[in-house]
Amino acid sequence: MPDRGGGPTGPRIRVGRPSRRVRTLLMTLGVLAVLGMAFTMFAGFWTDWLWYRSVNYSSVFTTTLWTKIGLFFVFGLLMALSVGFNIWLAHRLRPPLSAMSMEQQSLDRYRMGIAPYKKWLLLAITALVGLIAGASASSQWRTWLMWVNGVPFGEKDPQFHLDVGFYAFDLPWYRFLLGFGFAAAILSLIAAALTHYLYGGLRVTSPGARATAAATGHLSVLIGIFVALKAVAYWLDRYGLAVKSSDFKATDNWTGLRYVDANAYLPAKTILFCIAVICALLFFATLWRRTWQLPVIGFGLMVLSAILIGGLYPAIVQKFQVQPNEQAKEAPYVAKNLKATREAYGIDGTQVTEYPGTSQTEDKTQLRDDVDAAASIRILDPNIVSPTFQQLQQIRNYYAFPTNLDVDRYSKDGKDQDTVIGLREINLNGIPKRNWINDHFRYTHGYGVVAAEGTNADDQGRPDFTESDLPSKGDLGTYEQRVYYGEKTTMYSIVGGPQKEIDYSDDSGEKTYSYQADSGVSLSNPVNRAAYAVAFGEPQILYSGAIGDGSRILYNRTPKERVEAVAPWLTIDGDAYPAVVDGRIQWIVDAYTTTNGYPYSSRTTLGDTTADSLTASNNQRAVVAQQNQVNYIRNSVKATVDAYTGEVKLYQWDTEDPVLKTWMKAFPDTVESKSEISKSLMAHLRYPQDLFKVQRELLTRYHVKDATTFLSGSEVWQVPDDPTNKSGNAVPPYYLSMKMPDQAAQAFSLTTTFTPNGRDNLSAFMAVDAEAGTSDYGKIRILKLPTNTTVNGPSQVQSQFNSEQNIAETIRLLRGGDSEVEYGNLLAVPLDGGLLYVEPVYVRGGGLKYPLLRKVLVSYGGTTAFEDTLGEALNKVFGAEGPTTEPPDEGEEPGGTTPPPTSTNPTVQEALNDAQKAFEAGQEALKKGDWEAYGRAQEDLEEALKRAEDAQAQADKTGAGGGDSDGGKASPSASPSGSPSPTSSPTGT
């Protein structure tokens, strides 16, 4: 081409076409790139399908997939046809071209430029909008399935008298359709207007009419469709008022109609609906009138009406009718909100009882015997003792326990007892040598359950294990101990092939094992291996010799993610817990059905409501929510995950929940009947923590049934901060076997406390019967304290504990050296009209890296005790003499020490002298904070006392030897100096 710039010309560089070889290479690379991207997409799809098939939930995968595909194509095609048709119509209605103005001459160049590519350009535009619309629609698969499978709630809203199912299942789908219609109308209008402008149907600067008659009619119809959709939106907005969120001074996230909604917004929406219908008809009429004068006037009237009727009028009603007499105006609507909220969150059956807050018995010694009947007080805190389990029961570095252990019930000697339980899971960070084979083939599973009594500890402050060692043995009997699926098992493993796994180690060395179950996905197929190599970004899966016949890959191994994957419509409780059931370790997972469309029920944000001091330090305990804001929740499903096979089972728990029934219609045969729950599994089911936390947050306000009191805000409570740490987060609820005042016997319960808003004293105590299978399961009881009586709340009890001089001095001694003091769960127990507080205190220090129970705090009626054991602390608080305490001897020496007990039997006397030495050594070690020396001294003391007891028993049997001053018997059950025997447990039992 000649240079038209007029400048000097230089040497020309001729660029030749690439050679055939280069073109072939480029084409080959292009094809390979396309095939690579296609296989990557295929690998993701194929591995998902294989996983769902391996867990026998392939119907969930196919139902979800086909629903997404159907929505994608239907709505993508509708959007493409809508936009494409209007572009085609605008082009067909173009006027004869005549370049009579500069504007048209400029556009003529564009028209000529795109003329050869019109069809391709039309296809490209319609395909693009279709893809975007289809992708957006496919994300609404839950909305579609709920609409098409929705079942009635059997309850009607108080305003429009429609079934709640209309708001929960129908209204969200109608709103999606309306939004899609608006998007299609707007995109079609823009595309048509641009096409008309390009081909002269619309003119901006050209002389003459600004639009042709054809363009006027076409665009008027599209605007009329938009206005008609606006009319539909006004009509749906009327029903939307019942689920509309708004801030109200009585509560945040208020849902439902208030006075101004019912008397201003509702009639305004009806009027605006009528105006919009008339305005739409005026736009449609331009097909015959060919003028926009009346439609524009109508549209302006609609906009003005929306401002005046939809905005100004409600503001006037609120200002001059509601505010001067708000309580009288709002009370009927608040009553509707109270009723709906309590029903939607399952708190309508809450039993609120007045509770005096102070003891009704003058003789406090009588209460000492009532404590054991009131509660099985758990002094082993599952959120503190995980390092102790780790240190004493880890056995090998490649095992680990969860940060927070769990509380369950197990039967011993025919009696249920609260038990702290954890699994010895695989810990890859503890593997001696990290490499791909060790990480994924050799170290594949944990081994065994470790459990301890919740109400007891040994003489050194360690857990009293009921199941321990490796392999584990104890009270749980025989069961499959291998843990392939667990809370800490996040890495994939390849098992069952030629490479043997490390099972466990004992004195004879390492034991090997090969996985026997058919869990996971087979890697025998080279296609599967290639797919997983791509999906996991690990090419060794494709060619490693460690994979062969029988090899299976295990992944998605945490209980919560397995349940969420097979039931993507469920919200998952943050705390999955293990239980030994019928010879197998089963993870039990609580799951919820939720909706955001329950009329008049206030909304709550699950992520915020379920947060507490434990979730702040352990993100694994956070709830897995499908929708974070909800105003209806039910614990409708109990799920189990087998720790060996990974088998997932979903059980219908709430048989009346309409949301669960809807999902069971959408995914048939995925949820088993409640009757399929075995008796042994039922014994370990419990009331879930996250539901309890949601309910307690609502009950800070909705324990009030009277609308006037609710509006005044005088009875608002708050969940106190956890006083045992400085996180500033809410105190977690605690599982505890206890008895409420109206109960005949103890029941496994979930408990919490309330304080008045902005204050620290106690306002109420809440407990729910957490024992599944009983008639009272799920019954919420609240003990409400009188407002004129000040009862210490958790933070005040903790402050009192920290401020007492003798306790503070003891704490200072315990913190000597490099020791640390950790406070356990502060438990509250109703007792004779008052509240008994119990808090275990742990010490971690010296040569120890794990906490040991050293002291127990007890507080009741303003009296505080801080002793070595729970029994001693209770004795001090209630003024009862403990079974192991003795009065000082008459021969007490100056300085507070007493000589060791004497005996005429030389063997007994020698043992008692050794016991005295061991006791003194232990006290000296305690002052120095040397816990290893203290532990050795306690062992020596126990051994010496045992020798004394055996020697005295032998002497009594043979008649040899004399006795002490009380009749010839030594007192080996009492330690030297009259102190409690170290062999007594910290519970005092």
Residue type, 761: N
HEC per residue, 71-112: HHHHHHHHHHHHHHHHHHHHHHCCCCCCCCCHHHHHHHHHHH
What does the alpha-carbon distance between residue 468 and residue 472 come to, in Å, rounded to a whole number? 5
User: What pLDDT, on a 0 to 100 scale, did the predictor assign at position 293?
Assistant: 77
Burial degree of 424 (CB within 10 A; 0-12, 13-18, 19+): buried
Helix axes 141-149, 171-198, angle to 10 degrees: 130
DSSP class per residue in 430-487: G-SS--HHIIIIIS--EE-EEEEEEEEE-TTS-EEEEEETTTTEETT-S-B-EESS-T
Other CB atoms within a 10 A radius of the CB of residue 37 amount to 10
Span between the terminal Cα atoms of the chain, in Å: 105
CA distance 746 to 672: 31
d(CA 404, CA 576): 11
What is the C-alpha separation between 354 and 794, in angstroms, rounded? 20
The predicted structure's pLDDT at residue 932:
67
Tokens representing 729 are 């987060």
- Tokens standing for residue 895: 């300085």
Residues shown for the chain: 989
Strand segments, DSSP code E, in 657-812 are 717-718, 734-738, 747-756, 764-769, 780-784
Amino acid at 104: Q
Q: Which of 572, 461, 363, 580 is nearest to 840 (CA)?
A: 461
> What long-range pairs does 762-766 form, CB within 8 A, spacing at least 24?
762/357, 762/791, 762/792, 762/793, 762/794, 762/835, 763/717, 763/787, 763/793, 764/703, 764/717, 765/355, 765/828, 765/830, 765/835, 766/696, 766/699
Q: Could you state, in chain order, the average pLDDT of each consecutive group of 10 residues for the chain (989 residues)?
A: 41 58 79 80 91 95 96 96 93 74 67 77 91 95 96 94 96 96 96 87 67 86 94 95 78 84 92 93 83 79 86 87 86 93 94 89 79 90 92 90 92 86 93 92 94 90 92 93 94 92 85 92 92 92 90 95 95 94 96 95 91 80 86 96 96 96 96 95 95 95 90 89 84 92 92 91 94 92 88 88 83 79 91 92 80 91 88 87 43 40 67 76 66 72 76 62 39 38 37
Q: For residues 79 and 129, is the Cβ–Cβ distance under 8 A? A: yes
Residue (of 776, 780, 746) closest to 765 by Cα position: 780
How open is the CA angle 748-752-758, to the nearest 5 degrees? 175
For residue 640, what is the enclosing H or E element? strand 632-642
Q: How far apart are CA 689 and CA 880, in angstroms?
A: 36
Q: Can you give the pLDDT at residue 968?
A: 38
Q: SS3 letters for 170-236?
A: HHHHHHHHHHHHHHHHHHHHHHHHHHHHHCCCECCCCCCCCECHHHHHHHHHHHHHHHHHHHHHHHH
Tokens coding 511: 């034991």
- Quote the radius of gyration of the chain (alpha carbons, Å): 38
Name residue 902's amino acid: T
Nearest to 589 by CA among 638, 635, 556, 646: 638
Distance of CA 938 to the CA centre of its chain: 43
Cα–chain center distance at 253 = 20
In angstroms, the CA 717 to CA 698 distance is: 10
